[in-house]
Amino acid sequence: MRFYPEPDYSHGKIGKTAVVLLNLGTPDAPERSAVRRYLKQFLWDRRVVEVPRPVWWLILNGIILPFRSGQSAKKYASIWTKDGSPLKVHTEKQALLLKGYLGERGHEVHVTYAMRYGSPSIPSVLNKLKAEGYERILILSGYPQYSATTTASNFDAVFQHYQQVRNVPELRLVKNYHDHDAYIEALRQSVLKHWQTHGRPEKLVMSFHGLPKAFLLRGDPYHCECYKTARLLAEKLGLSKDQYLVTFQSRLGRAEWLQPYTSNAVKELAQQGTKRIDVICPGFIADCLETLEEIAMEVREDFLHAGGKEFNYIPCLNESPSWLRALAEIAEQHLIGWPTMMTVSLREEQKQQALISRSEAKRIGAPL
């Protein structure tokens, strides 16, 4: 069957609105087999790797998956919690709290989450919303800075799913919020809270996830949006240009990626006599392998072994109230025009309209 079966249709039913918070994903367990499944799905995405498929299939299945799966599983094990993957735990909490923050603003919406790779998958979540009668869906990516490798890949998965749906709901997509005032303010508060406890560093390093340089040259705006986020945050903190540094992490393969590389940059700072640095990762809204293991463990070691004396990692925004307020504000701006704020009189009016519609549908013999 080309299309998924539709749920029973009921005339006059009041459509509901949902917000879906999307993030990258995570293995189901810190084990080789689970990590292999996750990496295979992630690295086979054409948005992530643009190498011709036959060549990339050989590299992925013959080299990367056999060797990288075990190494990555050990890294995941080092950050795994009793509740599971930190990324999944934080994303689930963010979705739950976002519903409450939107409710305080008067919005009657359902909020859930999905992962681009792994579970809960985007198709499974969208199918569930369909079955539960949600006819308006706001897709809110967990990537402040847009990139074809992340945000567009999320959109691909949403569009591919709805190619198999007969009655497609109304959709809205949040492309980015890298320069949104509330997001920048949440970052500012996070940094200041850390400094109130630990004091200020000699240098604040803002580390973003890397991309192959070729993607920038082909028109991906991610690099520029990262620098704008960094500039706005530095201005909010009152930092001069020599008090902060923008870097990029998480390289894969031998091709040139966006520079400066985080690992190399912190080593150079230590070798130049910088004794203390603080590192924040503004491109991640929730702590994950790339922040907790790569930055807080590996990059810390790089800095200390190169002669640095003090390294502090500033956690991601996670469930901080300032961030949840910002996320609610971002979502609310994209909900405008949808009937999510219902007064008592409007509720009664819609109920009456539903009864009239049901009566008319029964008169003409239409299915209820």
Residues at the binding site for Fe(2+) are 209, 290
Task: Determine the distance from the C-alpha atom of residue 28 to the mean position of all C-alpha atoms in its chain, rounded to a whole number.
Answer: 17
Q: Write out the binding residues.
A: 209, 290
Q: What are the DSSP E strand ranges found in the chain? A: 16-25, 110-117, 134-141, 170-174, 203-209, 244-249, 276-280, 310-314
Q: What is the dihedral of CA 287, 288, 290, 292, to 10 degrees?
A: 70
Asked if 113 contacts 20 with a C-beta cutoff of 8 angstroms, the reply is yes
Distance, in Å, from the CA atom of 104 to the CA atom of 102, rounded to the nearest integer, reads 5
Cα–Cα distance measured from residue 172 to residue 61, given in angstroms and rounded to the nearest whole number: 36
Backbone angles phi, psi at 128, to 5 degrees: -65, -40
From CA 171, how far away is CA 367, in angstroms rounded?
26
b/e per residue, 208-226, with b = 16+ CB within 10 A? bbbbbeebbeeebbbbebb
Rounded-to-integer distance, Cα 342 and Cα 349, Å: 10
CA distance 24 to 45: 12
